[in-house]
Structure 1
């Protein structure tokens, strides 16, 4: 075998190896690209029953990246974005769905537009409302030792919306009593404040008891009032923050002074 033949065999082996790597890499990238596109389409279609959900919104926002090499999909996405608030969102959304299916060679001719616009949703509105009521109750129970926390206040403000009087009369009545008490804080009567705070705990326990009964929880007032874990460190931090805020406000209003002490006087000339 001549040197030329040996060289040719070596070059052929190298070229065939490089070609194999190129082909493998090409098809692997195509496979991964299609996988990402399918994942986005699945989230897009699977969560269309709630167009305001976090997952559906995420799928919309990632289309521009995942389908970045698809002119028709990007055009449909742009038209959908332009249609928002114009009354033609549904048509633009269906067009976006179809363009994504066409890119992935997924047939959708068997279904009309109403199939996409009227998705399956086996959860009834009553079940969704009941689930929200449970979440509100859980939030109040979890934060009943920290009644000034944003989570607790938000849950309280949701009661009048999610617990209609027709379905939860005792809850609404207890909420009104508690709400009236919260708005009657004796700010200018320091002697009445401890009693007011004690009554606040009683009214909150009554409210939680009625909510628990209505939602099928077996709690009594003792469980609600006593079964609380509140670390002392949290109470200390909260007290210190209140004292700090009060001190700053009093200083800014001129109601308090700042103590200063000179420890080192410069020498006189």
Structure 2
């Protein structure tokens, strides 16, 4: 009888271990996908008309399908980009800021020290810097 209890408890603990580690792995992989997409967006924000930035924007609806706030923000950006408005550029900037904030909030990544202008102003290594001697 003791032998049977040992076997049953071993099986149950093994099955529970597999289930828990599988769930943790899936959660970690989802976060990794989201982080990679955020890195692609932020890394290519110097060229918002470029292929890599556009590819990342188009991927948001798939990768962040479980975040209603992110989907709402990307839809708002799409609506603004598709519309004909006199101050379209300014509206797109504000929509991008809202989207970036929603993305980093979703993955619980953020730094309160970084303001809105930081999200739009980029480090551009293509720009020549003139240093006076």
TM range (shorter): 0.7 to 0.9
From 4, 26, 31, the counterpart of 1:29: 26
Alignment of 1:63 onto 2:60: yes
Structure 1 residues not aligned, in runs of 5+: 126-269
SS of the residue 2:111 aligns to: coil
The superposition leaves residues 64-91 of structure 1 with CA deviations (integer Å, 9 ceiling, x where unpaired) of 1111111211111111111213421111
Give me the whole-angstrom Cα distance separating, in 2, the residues matched to 1:11 and 1:71: 43
The superposition leaves residues 62-120 of structure 1 with CA deviations (integer Å, 9 ceiling, x where unpaired) of 11111111121111111111121342111111111011101111113211111111211
Alignment of 1:99 onto 2:102: yes
Give me the whole-angstrom Cα distance separating, in 1, the residues matched to 2:42 and 2:79: 21
Checking the alignment, whether the CA contact within 8 Å between 1:98 and 1:108 is kept in structure 2 is no
The superposition leaves residues 4-23 of structure 1 with CA deviations (integer Å, 9 ceiling, x where unpaired) of x3333222111110100011
Alignment RMSD (CA, Å): 1.5
* Structure with higher RCO (Cα < 8 A, 6+ apart): 2
The alignment covers a number of residue pairs equal to 122
Alignment of 1:143-222 (within 5 A): none
The superposition leaves residues 195-240 of structure 1 with CA deviations (integer Å, 9 ceiling, x where unpaired) of xxxxxxxxxxxxxxxxxxxxxxxxxxxxxxxxxxxxxxxxxxxxxx
Q: With the length of structure 1 as denominator, give the TM-score of the two structures.
A: 0.43
Alignment of 1:51 onto 2:54: no
Structure 2 residues not aligned, in runs of 5+: 129-133
Residue 131 of structure 2 corresponds to which residue in structure 1? Answer: none
Alignment of 1:119 onto 2:116: no
Q: Which runs of at least 4 in structure 1 moved beyond 3 Å after TM superposition?
A: none
SS of the residue 1:49 aligns to: helix
Q: With the length of structure 2 as denominator, give the TM-score of the two structures.
A: 0.84
Give me the whole-angstrom Cα distance separating, in 2, the residues matched to 1:108 and 1:91: 19
